[in-house]
Amino acid sequence: MDNTSDANKPVSTAQQTALNLKADLASPALTGTPTAPTASSGTNNTQIATTAFVKSQAYLTGYTESDPEVGANTTNFLSKWNGSALISSTISDDGTSVKINYTSPTSDRLYVNGNATISGSLTVLDKLFVDTIVNRTVTNISVSGGIIPDTGSPQSLRELGTNTNRWNNLYLSGQITIGGGSPGLGKYLTSDANGLASWTTLTIPADAVTSVFGRTGAVIGASGDYTAGQITNVAAGNISSTNLQAAINELDSEKESSYTPGTTAQYYRGDKTWQNLNAAVT
């Protein structure tokens, strides 16, 4: 058959069956478990990468990260994009509270460690815990519960303003409780020259009046409480007495004595006598 061209040479059935089992060189569809030489770690070319090569590169294979980290932060911390990569942030959310610049556990729903600027209104539906509000302009804080100092802070920081940076006005619709300055039952509030208030005990003299004419409480004067002899008088004019009753008696003693009345034809002269009226002269 040497005189037959290669393309026309006959192929046996067995040979054709064996040829059909071979893979194509272009885009072969392999079956079974094909193998290939494993390249050394770090190889970077177009050769086939076996599963052994992939695992030697320490790539994740079948592993799910349950707690991804960014930077040095750990569980519950949020990441942020700096324009080119994800980096760690100072915000964390553990499902109970959101913390900013704070890492210790807390039961507060929002905890900000540092200064916070609020340009709008702040509404607090429960209590507002305050370490220090000093030298700041605060407008429209609505608190339905109370403003309470954080007991974990030093006593010197539990304040609203200071002696040099004071709040101008404080408007309250309810009651105010002042726990400083030694409060106590029956005490009243006084101030020193710097405006520092303290509670003072009301001193009642030993001979203090406890009742007036048998009446106690808010006593209102009544008729018959005093006689004229109990009322003092200031000496004035021709009256020298300083007792009201004595002054009345003095006036009574100086009045004109009684006299016998005259007739209609008489007049009372300066010498205190009645004289007959001369009708012809008048």
Distance CA 247, CA 239 (A): 6
Provide the pLDDT for residue 207: 77
- Return the biggest CA–CA distance within the chain: 206
| Nearest C-alpha neighbor of 82 from the set 72, 71, 92 | 71
Instruction: Spell out the per-residue pLDDT of the chain, length 282, in tens.
Output: 566 676 677 778 888 888 888 888 888 888 888 899 999 988 899 999 898 888 888 766 566 655 556 665 567 888 888 888 777 788 888 888 888 888 787 777 888 887 777 777 667 666 665 555 544 445 555 555 556 555 555 555 456 666 666 667 777 777 788 888 889 988 999 999 888 889 999 887 777 777 888 888 777 878 888 887 777 777 777 788 878 788 888 888 877 777 788 888 888 888 888 888 877 765
Residue 55 near residue 41, CB atoms below 8 Å: no
Per DSSP (E only), the strands in 156-224 are: 159-160, 187-191, 197-201
Q: Could you tell me whether strands 147-149 and 159-160 are parallel, antiparallel, or unpaired per DSSP bridges?
A: unpaired
Provide the pLDDT for residue 135: 43
Report the length, in residues, of the chain. Answer: 282
Provide the pLDDT for residue 71: 60
Provide the pLDDT for residue 37: 92
Residue 113 near residue 99, CB atoms below 8 Å: yes
Three-state secondary-structure class, residue 157: helix
Distance CA 267, CA 9 (A): 190
Cite the DSSP H helix spans in 57-180.
none
Cβ count within 10 A of residue 112? 12
